[in-house]
């Protein structure tokens, strides 16, 4: 008897939710609205109210930006279908109501074949006091996610996140040295994200962020690389084009604790990114210290191959491909797939 009562509770709760019909401010038809609420009732956090469940369904259709559980102060001024970054922001807002989902932060990808012209074995040979034979082709992957920890800050326009990105370079095919991970870069962040709707020469400033960033390779001794920054991120979008400018300030360290005192000579003080999407293809770039001898340029192309993964090609030329290579020029090409993209 007790089991049957417990089993009926989700149905009773779902029925109560479905009793709320779509109002005039909900563009969904009744069937879509009920389907959305059914999914929300089954997967949402137990602390969510009925009003919050309804608001989550409205978010998907109305294009609410970063405001899931609160009333919208302004209506979206753009067409989400024509501005993919806007659409991603809206989908992230909906996904936060599902406690079984992790929100992607940066790209999540795997490059089974990442070819580098001249692998940098010098730091490892110095640490091991012997020759290290690195292979030109290795496996590179990145895992990146974020979690909302506070919302509706700064007059309901701001949200606070913690994020983590892991990028690893694995000598997976190098049986001669037992397939080691050559380098792993860890990047935890605390991010204040603020929505905006300011326009400049036809481009809309959709997002501004201020972050506290730590980046290290988790090593010790001569192989240790790390630094801490306060980082900004200003994001603009227009139709199928998006770009961001990310300036930063390196937090000072004691000289005896500084593993890489000249890292700013190679990484510089800002990073510029841009992307263009058309017919579900995305071409993007990243550059640091352009037009100098110590800069970097990355070119990316992703394209659809199935409903869950996308093909991914990445070209890199310059300094700072990883922390261990921050002062070494690298030229590489990687082929693989991405699971979550920019848009």
Per the annotation, binding residues for Ca(2+) are 178, 224, 259
Sign for the CA dihedral angle at 336, 187, 160, 97 comes to: positive
Specify the DSSP class assigned to residue 9: H
| Cα–Cα distance list, 210 to 112, 150, 230 (Å) | 33, 15, 7
Angle at alpha carbon of residue 161, lines to 211 and 158, rounded to 5°: 85
Residue 286's Cβ-side half-sphere holds a number of Cα atoms within 13 Å equal to: 17
Binding annotation: 178, 224, 259
Report yes or no: 21 and 29 within 8 Å, Cβ to Cβ. Answer: no
> Which position among 69, 186, 214, 240 bears the catalytic label?
214
Q: Give the C-alpha distances (Å, rounded to integers) separating 290 from 46, 235, 270, 313.
A: 50, 19, 10, 22
Helix (H) or strand (E) holding 219: none
- Copy the structure tokens of residue 192: 């204040």
SS3 53: helix
Q: Strand, helix or coil at 104? A: strand
C-alpha separations of 335 from 49, 183, 304, 316, 332 in Å: 45, 19, 14, 12, 10
**Backbone φ, ψ for residue 182 (5° rounding):** -65, -40
Of the residues 168, 186, 216, 240, which is catalytic? 216
C-beta neighbour count of 84 within 10 angstroms: 22
Residue 281 has a CB neighbour count (10 Å cut-off) of 13
Q: Is 216 a catalytic residue?
A: yes
Dihedral (CA of 258, 260, 265, 270) sign: negative
Residues facing 166 on adjacent strands: 143, 186
Active site residue 105: no
- The residues assigned a catalytic role are 214, 216
């Amino acid at each position: 008897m007790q089991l049957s009562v417990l089993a009926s509770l989700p149905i009773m709760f779902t029925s109560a939710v479905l009793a709320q019909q779509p109002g005039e401010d909900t563009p969904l038809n009744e069937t879509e609205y009920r389907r959305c609420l059914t999914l929300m009732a089954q997967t949402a956090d137990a602390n969510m109210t009925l009003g919050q469940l309804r608001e989550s369904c409205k978010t998907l259709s109305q294009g609410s930006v970063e405001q899931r559980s609160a009333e919208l102060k302004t209506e979206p001024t753009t067409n989400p279908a024509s501005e993919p970054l806007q659409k991603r922001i809206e989908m992230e807002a909906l996904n936060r109501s599902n406690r079984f989902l992790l929100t992607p932060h940066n790209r999540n990808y795997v490059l089974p074949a990442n070819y580098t012209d001249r692998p940098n074995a010098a730091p490892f040979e110095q640490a091991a006091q012997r020759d290290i034979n690195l292979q030109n082709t290795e496996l590179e992957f990145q895992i990146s996610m974020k979690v909302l920890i506070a919302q509706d800050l700064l007059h309901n326009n701001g949200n606070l996140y913690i994020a983590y990105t892991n990028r690893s370079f694995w000598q997976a095919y190098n049986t001669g040295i037992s397939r080691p991970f050559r380098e792993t870069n860890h990047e935890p962040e605390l991010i204040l994200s603020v929505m905006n709707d300011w326009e400049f020469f036809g481009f809309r400033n959709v997002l501004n962020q201020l972050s506290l960033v730590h980046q290290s390779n988790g090593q010790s001794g001569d192989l240790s690389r790390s630094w801490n920054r306060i980082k900004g991120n200003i994001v603009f979008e227009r139709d199928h084009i998006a770009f961001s400018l990310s300036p930063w300030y390196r937090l000072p360290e004691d000289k005896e604790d500084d593993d890489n005192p000249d890292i700013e000579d190679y990484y510089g003080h800002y990073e510029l990114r841009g992307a263009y999407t058309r017919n579900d293809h995305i071409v993007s770039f990243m550059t640091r210290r352009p037009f100098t001898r110590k800069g970097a340029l990355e070119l990316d192309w992703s394209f659809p191959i199935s409903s869950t993964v996308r093909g991914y090609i990445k070209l890199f030329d310059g300094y700072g491909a990883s922390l261990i290579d921050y002062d070494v020029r690298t030229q590489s090409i990687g082929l693989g797939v991405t699971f979550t993209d920019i848009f």
